[in-house]
């Protein structure tokens, strides 16, 4: 569905490239996790899809069509986008925030309103309580749910999420992760999301792409990554997970 081919990205000439010769395909309906630490190029890879970042070389295709040939604003409106900063518009109500893209697409007020209420229900925020609130009257978790609802407003085929749960506390994060797994299964959308958290990647991703210093090390299910690491980096990464579990057992005075 989404094909990134031989992508390189250099932000400032002379500096190390953010991405080097990245080729990766996202299958229709799957959830792909882009996993890496900061500077790995994972966010750059995500933003290539809706052209918030333009590649220095290589091409991005959606359903076989080169995104360079598309109207950039229409492209972005056709793709859902959620990110860590959430970026709800503070001067608009929750319902108005969710209705932004529908309005840009020319929906009438009534259809937009109904859609917003439907989405609020779907993300677990009772419309009658949340519809007319302003973003600064929401908790972090509520705001992120509104952010997800806003991204889904026009039923985009593709949903991009840039560290969507990064700013949330641990309890809220786990709950929203569970909800997203559930949502993704029900909606059958193609989801690409960025995370630096291995557990989150394994939990949400049908497949995980491991990026490090601008290079793609391996793409595969958690099981594949664990059993057949393609590079020492991937092996160490998965190994750390085992170490952490042992450490947790020891701290809790378990069997070890």
Partner 1 sequence: MNELFTALAARGPEVWLRTLEHLMLTGVSTLAAVGLGVPLGILVFFRPGLRSALMSFVGILQTIPSLAMLALLLVVFGRIGVVPALAALTLYALLPVVRNTLVGLEGVDESVGEAARGLGMTPFQELARVRLPLAAPVLAAGVRTAAVIGVGIATLSAFIGAGGLGQFINRGLALSDTGLILLGAVPAGILALLVDGSIAGLEWAADARRHRDHRGAGRRALRTTAAVLPCALLVLPTAVLFASGRSAAGVDRVGICSKNFTEQLVLGELMAQVIERRTDLFVDRRFNMGGTVICHRALAAGEIDVYPEYTGTALTAILEEDLPGSEETADDVFRRVREAYEARFDVAWLPPFGFDNTYVVLAHPRVADSLGWRRVSDLASLARQLSVGFTAEFAERPDGYPGFTEHYGYTFGTERDLDPGILYRAVADREVDVAFGFATDGRIDGYGLVVLEDDLGFFPPYQAAPLVRMETLEAFPELGPALRSLEGALPDSTMRRLNRQADAGEGNVASIVSAFLDARDPGS
**Residue numbers of the site for partner 1 (CB under 8 A)?**
50, 52, 73-78, 81, 83, 85-91, 93, 100-101, 104, 132-134, 136-137, 150
Residue placing its CB nearer to partner 1 in the complex, 42 or 77: 77
Output b/e per residue, 93-127; b: 16+ Cβ within 10 A: bbbbbbbbbbeeeebeeeebbebbbebbebbebeb
Q: How far is the CB of 48 from partner 1 (least distance, A)?
A: 13
Comparing CB distances to partner 1, the nearer of 72 and 181 is 72
CB of 113 to partner 1, least distance (A): 17
Q: Least distance to partner 1 from the beta carbon of 120, Å?
A: 17
Strand 215-220 to 57-62 pairing: unpaired
Pick 48 or 101: Cβ nearer partner 1:
101
Least Cβ distance, residue 96 to partner 1 (angstroms):
10
Task: Tell me whether residue 78 or residue 112 sits nearer to partner 1 (CB atom).
Answer: 78
In angstroms, what is the minimal distance from the CB of 117 to partner 1?
A: 18
Closer CB to partner 1, residue 77 or residue 212?
A: 77
Cα–Cα distance measured from residue 80 to residue 160, given in angstroms and rounded to the nearest whole number: 6
Shorter beta-carbon distance to partner 1: residue 20 or 52: 52
Residue (97 or 218) nearer to partner 1, CB: 97
Smallest gap, in angstroms, from Cβ of residue 87 to partner 1?
3
194, 34 in Cβ contact below 8 A? Answer: yes
Closest separation in Å from C-beta 159 to partner 1:
12
């Amino acid at each position: 569905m989404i094909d990134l081919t031989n992508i390189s990205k250099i932000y400032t000439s002379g500096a190390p490239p953010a991405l080097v010769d990245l080729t990766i395909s996202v299958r229709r309906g799957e959830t792909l996790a882009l996993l890496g630490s900061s500077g790995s190029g994972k966010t750059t890879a995500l933003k290539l899809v809706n052209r918030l970042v333009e590649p220095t070389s290589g091409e991005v295709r959606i359903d076989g069509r080169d995104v360079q040939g598309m109207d950039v604003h229409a492209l972005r409106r056709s793709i859902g986008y959620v990110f860590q900063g959430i970026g709800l518009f503070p001067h608009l109500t929750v319902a108005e925030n969710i209705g932004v893209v529908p309005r840009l697409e020319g929906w009438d007020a009534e259809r937009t309103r109904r859609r917003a209420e439907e989405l609020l229900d779907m993300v677990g925020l009772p419309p009658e309580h949340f519809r007319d609130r302003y973003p600064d009257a929401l908790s972090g978790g509520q705001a992120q749910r509104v952010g997800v609802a806003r991204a889904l407003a026009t039923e985009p085929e593709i949903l991009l999420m840039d560290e969507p749960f990064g700013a949330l506390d641990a309890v809220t994060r786990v709950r929203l992760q569970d909800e997203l797994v559930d949502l993704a299964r029900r909606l059958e959308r193609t989801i690409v999301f960025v995370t630096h958290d291995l557990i989150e990647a394994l939990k949400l991703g049908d497949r995980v792409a491991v990026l490090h210093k601008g290079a793609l090390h391996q793409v595969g299910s958690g099981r594949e990554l664990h059993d057949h690491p393609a590079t020492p980096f991937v092996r160490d990464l998965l190994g750390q997970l085992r170490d952490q579990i042992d450490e947790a057992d020891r701290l809790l005075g378990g069997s070890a």
